Structures are given as structure tokens and as C-alpha cells.
Amino acid sequence: MIPADKKKADANPTKAFFVRMITRDITLEDCIFDLVDNSIDGAWELAGGHPLSLNDKTDLSAYKISIKIEEDRFEISDNCGGITLDDAADYAFTFGRKDDAETENFSIGVYGIGMKRAVFKLGTAIDIRSTYEVDGNSASFRVPINVENWLASGDETWDFDIEEAEHLDQKGVQITVSELTEAAKRSFESPRFIRNLRRAIARDYALHLHRGLVIEVQGTPISGWKIELRQGGDFSPMRAQFEEVMDGEKVFVEILAGMAAPPPNDSEPSDDFDEGQNTSGWYVICNGRIVLAADKTTLTGWGTEGWPQWHPQYTGFMGIIIFSSRRADLLPLTTTKRSVDETSAIYRQFRSKMRETTKEWIAYTNTRKQIREEAIQREEVAKAVPIFEVAIRQEVELPKIAQKPKIPEANVLYTVPRSRLRNLASAFGNINMAYKDVGLRSFEYAFKDLVGDE
């Protein structure tokens, strides 16, 4: 007989395990971005707009997000409306989104773990303050979290205390984290971390910054990355818009693609070529946030069936696919918002369109080799324009180059004493002539002498 108290296997989670798991596979930078995302959602709601498409004219210039990083302290604050007491008590601090939680319109958050994961990753002494408006008046509260005490209190209760608090200077949220984790301390001590954080914000929030949103780090506002494609002459980028219905909800999709920069004149990268600084590739944007940037992997199709692997020859191509929906769970987001979910139905549906556009550029760079000088002249005519100014066009337009018939070629390889080769180079008038050039020159000389003109 099984005793009555042994008829259930305990499957309850432990706090320690949960904290370790939700913070394990996310970077400090992405944790900070989770907090920025929450502020941006508030700004859009107050402004009365949605990040539907590039045509959206919502003005976000009234809203500011400030990030301050010190060796032993992190703080983020905003004036984006704050968290209400009802939301704090019922939804904002739960681990995971409740089934009855109201969908936040056009939010970037899906799973309901962003804020908790971020602060646990950063440190163990956390103070979250909110000032918001209720019935025309200001109200405030704070949620202090001492992670060590919370873990030590046992796994029976997971709640956090909500306390009275003085008003913040503006209606918004202020999150302060001290007693930093070792990983946070080491990162915050490095000027490189701050520099990389600013660059990532400038890129990933470029669409929000373009609409006037202010994000400052260490008191200095960040200028958004100017996303541009080239047009003019024989070059016209594509810009196509689509509307799909999934699970009863609309999903808006916009694709832009074309030449962001002329392709390299040498398909093999030089010694100083930095692939990390190469902005070519595919960009995926979900509800206004770039979640995948300059991708050249199988995630966006490169190296999959019927699609070649990325090669430096294709440098200069930029493709952007924008997904927007009231329900963020319909978008191809991952929990870290740093990649795409390849199994997403809407993403799979539009991968074929991404492939078609990419193939156009691949074909152009292949045939371009035959008329390189002419191609360079044509490319110089095309000028960079912001993606917001690109006209609607269903297909990318690139120069039509008639492929010349290939002449069979043969490689000639032989070895001679270096002194003899240098003597021959000297006879040609340049003792420093490259070995390859000496070989070609001597072949042309012999051909003309023995065979004559073709």
C-alpha cells in the first residue's frame, strides 16, 4: 500500500532553480533591453499610436528613457506613464503571463518574464518605483526586492511586497539595482560595455528614435542608426506591404530590400576586412524592435536548399522584413528577442519572398564581374535614401546585364629560379613586377612572337 502522504510526487518549482534558468541564456545587454522595451510600450500607449509600419507618423518626442550605469549600481528611469497599482498587484510581477492577462497592444513583450529576469540578472538589491495617474491624481508605490531574503523565505510564497512611496518627478518607472552580480560588475567596469550598449540601442531602436523617442545613456542622448537603401539610375529598392490574418488577428508585414552599398570589387575580403562591422544581410523587426541584425546565416535562408551560403561577394545587400501585430505572440520572437523563431507560421510564410529578393542580388553580383568598370559607374549614380522615403515597389530593380559567353580558360603553372624571373622582370622595365604579371607578360610576348595576332 502507498501511504496517503506519498500519493503525490512534488513537482513544484523552486525559486532558486527558476531564477537560474530564466537568467542563464540572456546577456546583460539584452536584460537592459527588456527594461527599455517596457518603457517604450508605455510611450506608444500614451502617444496613442502603434508601430504598424514605416508610414506611422506617431510623435514620441515627449518621452525619455534614461540609463545610468556605475561600477556598483544600475538605474533606468522613464516618463512613460508608470505601472498602475492594479497591474503591479495582479500582473506585472508574476513569473509568466497569466491566461486572463489583457493583451498589450503592439507590445514587444510576450512571455511575462522580462522585468523579473532583467533585475535578477543584474543584482540582488532591487527597488522598483512607479508614479502613475489615477482619476486625475498622481499615485505612487515601490516594490523593494532583496533577492537573498526572497530566496531564503521558502518556495511556498513567491509574492513581493508593495509599499507606499513618494512621487517620482514624472509619471513613469524608476528601477534601481545595487549589490550587482559579479557578471554585471565586470561588465560595468568596462568602457567597452557602455560603448557597445550605445551602438546596439542606436541600431535596434532606430525606428523608435526616428520618431523622436529619447534614450540616453550616462546622460548623453543616442542618435538612431540611419537605415538607408540606394536608389537612382538602374537601382530601385523594393518595398512591399502585406496584411495577413492569423488566429483571428491581423499581422502586418513589410519587406524592403536592395543595395545599401556597392558590392566589393574583389569577391575575396582583404586582410583588414571586418565581418563584424559589415551591415549587409537581413534584418528582422518585430513591433518596431530589430530582433535580428545583418544576418547571413540559415536563420534568414543563407545556406539552405536552393540558396547559397553567404559570401563576401554579396556585401552591399540589405533586406528588412517588418512584422507588426496587436498580439506579439503571433510574431517570430524568441524569449531573448535576439533572434527569430524559425518555426513561426508567419515567418515561414514570408521566407520564400526573402529568398526571391536575395537571389536577384546574387545574380547581379555574379554578372557584375563581366562589366565591373561599367557597373561601378552605374552604382555611383544611386544615392542613399532613408527607408522611410522608399516608394512602394513590389520587386527590386537592378541593372540588367547580358551574360557574356564564357571562354574556356586554362591555368599555367611553372617554376623557375627566382634570379631568372627577376632578370626577366627587369627586362620588362620593372624589377618589382609581381610574379603573376611576369608570367602573363611573358606569355603574351611569346604568343605574339610565335602565333601572331588572334
The 10s digit of each residue's pLDDT in 41-76 is 999 999 988 877 888 889 999 999 999 999 899 999
Q: In this predicted structure, what is the pLDDT of residue 115? A: 83
Domain membership of residue 438 as a residue range:
418-451
Interval 423-445 mean pLDDT: 89
As a whole number, mean pLDDT of residues 207-229 equals 95
Q: Is 188 found in the same domain as 88?
A: yes
DSSP state for residue 271 in the 8-state scheme: T
Q: What is the pLDDT of residue 255?
A: 97
How confident is residue 112, by pLDDT bands cut at 50, 70 and 90? Answer: low
Domain count, the chain: 3
> DSSP letters along 313-382, please?
GGTTEEEEEEEEES-GGGS-B-TTSSSB-TT-HHHHHHHHHHHHHHHHHHHHHHHHGGGHHHHHHHHHH-
One domain for residues 356 and 428: no
From start to end of 232-273, where are the E strands? Answer: 238-246, 249-259
Q: Where a domain ends, among 222, 242, 259?
A: 222
- CB 227 within 8 Å of CB 290: no
Is 185 in the same domain as 256?
A: no
| Higher per-residue pLDDT: 308 or 49 | 308
Q: Quick check: is 381 in a domain?
A: yes
- Domain of 302, CATH number, reads 3.30.230
**Domain assignment of residue 368, yes or no:** yes
With respect to residue 397, please indicate whether it lies within any of the assigned structural domains: no
The answer to whether residue 282 sits within a structural domain is: yes
Residues 134 and 237 in one domain: no
- Tell me, yes or no, whether 200 and 237 share the same domain: no
Residue 379 domain-assigned (yes or no): yes
Instruction: Look up cell 491566461; give the residue.
Output: 99
What dihedral do alpha carbons 94, 97, 102, 105 form, nearest 10°?
110
Position 1 confidence tier, pLDDT thresholds 50, 70, 90: confident
Whether the full predicted model's pTM is greater than 0.75, yes or no, is: yes
390 pLDDT exceeds 50? yes
Cell (9 digits) for 387: 527607408
Q: What is the pLDDT of residues 360-387, one digit of tens each?
A: 999 999 988 888 888 999 999 999 999 9
pLDDT of residue 252: 95
**pLDDT (mean) for 392-410:** 82
Mind listing the pLDDT tens digit for each residue in 36-48? 999 999 999 999 8
Please indicate, yes or no, if residue 204 is contained in any of the structural domains.
Answer: yes
pLDDT single digits (tens) 121-153: 999 999 999 999 999 999 999 999 998 998 888
Do 40 and 155 lie in one domain? The reply is: yes
Q: What is the CATH number of the domain that holds 46?
A: 3.30.565.10
Q: What is the DSSP string of 53-116?
A: -TT-----TT-EEEEEEETTEEEEEE-S----HHHIIIIITSSS--TTSPPPTT-S--SS-HHH
161 lies in the same domain as 60: yes
Q: Do the domain assignments include residue 3?
A: no
* Residue 237 and residue 216 in one domain: no
Q: 236 and 167, same structural domain?
A: no
C-alpha cell at 394: 513590389
Same domain, 212 and 313: no
CA distance 231 to 260: 9
The pLDDT, as a whole number, for residue 111 is 47
Asked if residue 209 and residue 67 are part of one domain, the reply reads yes
Nearest to 347 by CA among 280, 255, 258: 255
| Mean pLDDT (the chain, rounded) | 88
Q: Across the strands, what pairs with 321?
A: 255, 284
Q: 187 and 83 share a domain?
A: yes
